[in-house]
Amino acid sequence: MFPQAGYTKQDVFDYYLAVGDGIQRALDHRPTTLQRFPDGIDGEAFYQKRLPARGTPDWLNGAEITFPSGRKATELCPVDLAHVAWAAQMNTVVFHAWPVRAKDPDQPDELRIDLDPQPGTDFGNAAEAAGELRAILDEIGAQGWPKTSGGRGVHVYLRIQPRWTFVEVRRATIALARALERRRPDLVTTSWWKEERGERVFVDFNQMARDRTIAAAYSLRANQRATASTPVTWDELPDVEPNDFDLRTLPERFAKVGDPHAGIDDTPFDITPLLEWSAADERDGHGDMPYPPDHPKMPGEPPRVQPSKKNPANWSDD
């Protein structure tokens, strides 16, 4: 599965069993897209968004989700570690869980902030941005749960009450991102267009759009180092490096310290303050942001044209 490191499918299987409590907490009752590598990570990969029509065990659980197009599909929905083990033996390396539970598939219960370092910045900058984000969350009484992305970035999760739509939770995420940008404009950007981002950390608000997913906590990543997206404490975050956590080292850490995200379900947050921030931004002329290119055009969305190619004669901001 990982040719340079020599890790086999058995190693991947054993890894997921070793961090079982953590990966199951991350995936529990969540529709999950599987990133599968039938010939290892050097071979061709595909994203499985539908359970196979034939050949699956009778006990395998699925959940129906709706894509932005309105089409529906039944994805794997892990309810126990056997589901993770089944996926691992099917050459799954990366687990991409939706931010919803099967019982409320259109109402996210997880708000995800993806801090993505742009060229000229690195993981340390993302960790610094996460620290600034934590201060904002503290001010509104929200608990953030940080993890490494397994690459250069940092993810911060908020468990939220499943009362709002994807559109509303995405707008709350944009409002939070803008608050962070206002606090540290030298470090953070919300600019969707790469040409405007500069050497800053991009808050990828579109990870909260429907059908956009992030590698789950404890999921391996498809790189030669076999790193994993790893929950850490806020105290640890400034001092860790992404390469600290991989297929070999993370099971030992998990056995020693357990799961730093063990309490993530205890205090779901009411995002009303963030929606109030969003409404205030709208009144100040800062409304919605562009959606990903594969989404249908959304009400109130600005033009999906990068600024350097925008012809003022063809567009109006009204």
Percent pLDDT > 90 in the chain is: 91
Tell me whether strands 110-117 and 72-76 are parallel, antiparallel or unpaired. Answer: unpaired
The chain-wide mean pLDDT, for the chain, equals 95
What is the pLDDT at residue 306?
Answer: 79
Answer yes or no: is pLDDT of 250 > 90. Answer: yes
Rounded CA separation 225/193 (Å):
30
Residue recorded with tokens 């759009």:
209
Q: Compute CA 276 distance to the chain's CA centroid, rounded to the nearest angstrom.
A: 24
Ordered by start, the domain boundaries in the chain are 3-102+215-222
Q: Specify the pTM.
A: 0.94
Q: Are 15 and 254 in contact (CB under 8 A)?
A: no
- Segment 130-159 shows an average pLDDT of 97
Residues 20-72 have pLDDT tens digits of 999 999 999 999 999 999 999 999 999 999 998 888 999 999 999 999 999 99
| pLDDT band at residue 13 using 50, 70 and 90 as cut-offs | very high
Q: Sign of dihedral through CA atoms 19, 33, 230, 141?
A: negative
Residue recorded with tokens 């799954």:
92
CATH of domain 3-102+215-222: 3.90.920.10
What is the pLDDT at residue 310?
Answer: 66
Answer yes or no: is pLDDT of 169 > 70. Answer: yes
Rounded CA separation 9/31 (Å):
23
Residue recorded with tokens 């790893």:
230
Q: Under 8 Å CB-to-CB from 108, ≥6 apart: which residues? A: 99, 100, 160, 162, 164, 166, 169, 208
Rounded CA separation 17/81 (Å):
8
Give burial (CB, 10 Å; 0-12/13-18/19+) of 168.
Answer: middle
